[in-house]
Amino acid sequence: MLRFLSRLASKYKEYILLIVLSVISLTLLSKSEKPAAKHLQIFALGNFALLNEIVKPVTSIFRKDVSLEELRIENARLMLEVNRMRNEHLENEQLRSMIAFKDTSSFPLIPAKVVSKLVTKTQGNYIVNRGSSDGIIKGMPVLSDKGLIGLVMDAAENYCVVRTLNNSNLNIAVTLQRSRVDGILSFDGRNLVVKDIPTTYDVQIGDRVETSDFSSLFPPAIPVGVVAKKESNVVGLIHNLTLTSFADIAAGNNLFILKVIPSKQINDLEMNLLKQN
């Protein structure tokens, strides 16, 4: 190795000496305050800058680009923007479905948007941006384009409170679409359940469930959900049915209020009766 360096130094000694002397000269020039030295410094710096501009594109290939971090930041911003646009796309698709649903429905529907969700383990409520100024009154059904959401429980001038299916205080008369088996739907804190259905009744997993003809709280035949599970009691005489709702209650955002004027007396009597059950 030493022999190689010695041969290299001997071969290029003139160039090495020139570089060393140039460095020494530039160092001495940089420390000089004489006007002639100043002019020489400016000339040298100008030529160095020009040389740097020529060499920079080549040397940048071998070192980290300063703008790379800026590109990463921009990519992160674009990712957030794309994600926001995806959410808007999903909302747009939901609104398109709601428009199609509204066009095919024979009921007067008022579009509404959830502005707040008040949710506990057993109490699920929405605050919606429609109120008495829009003709909303207590007892009107609330639904999405997929199915039933809940019931208007109170209405202010510009807002109303909606009690959702995921509320243990809401009990709904429902029927199985295929076999016309009737029951009372309620929320037990985890699932939507229809209790005390005799095992002799024709109930199958996947049966569609809708609001009953016997309900005065809701018009009949509003889709509610499907039977996901059935469990018999110890004696084996009755079933408890677990339902999966058509509407995504937790993700509810754009809704319809069904502008059906309920009978206050019948509603109060039925709601009191359902609470007792």
* Structure tokens that stand for 76 in this block: 């992160």
SS (H, E, C) the chain: CHHHHHHHHHHCHHHHHHHHHHHHHHHHHHHCCCHHHHHHHHHHHHHHHHHHHHHHHHHHHHCCCCHHHHHHHHHHHHHHHHHHHHHHHHHHHHHHHHHHHHHHCCCCEEEEEEEEEEECCCCEEEEECCCHHHCCCCCCEEECCCCEEEEEEEECCCCEEEEECCCCCCCEEEEECCCCCEEEEEECCCCEEEEEEECCCCCCCCCEEEECCCCCCCCCCCEEEEEEEEEECCCCCEEEEEEEECCCCCCCCEEEEECCCCCHHHHHHHHHHHHHC
Q: Is the dihedral of CA 223, 91, 167, 106 positive or negative?
A: negative
Output the average pLDDT for the chain.
76
What percentage of residues in the chain have a pLDDT greater than 70? 61
Q: What is the CATH number of domain 105-277?
A: 2.40.10.340
69-81 pLDDT, tens per residue?
A: 567 556 556 766 7
pLDDT of residue 137 exceeding 70: yes
pLDDT of residue 104 exceeding 50: no
pLDDT of residue 238 exceeding 50: yes
Instruction: Give the least confident one: 20-34, 147-161, 186-200.
Output: 20-34
pLDDT of residue 246 exceeding 70: yes
Query: How far is Cα 78 from Cα 59, in angstroms, rounded to an integer?
Result: 30
Closest-CA residue to 105 (of 222, 245, 261, 251): 222
* Structure tokens that stand for 217 in this block: 């709280």
pTM of the model: 0.60
pLDDT of residue 269 exceeding 60: no
pLDDT of residue 176 exceeding 80: yes
Mean pLDDT, residues 250-269 taken together: 71
**How many other C-beta atoms are found inside a 10 Å radius of the C-beta of residue 152?**
24
Mean pLDDT, residues 169-186 taken together: 91
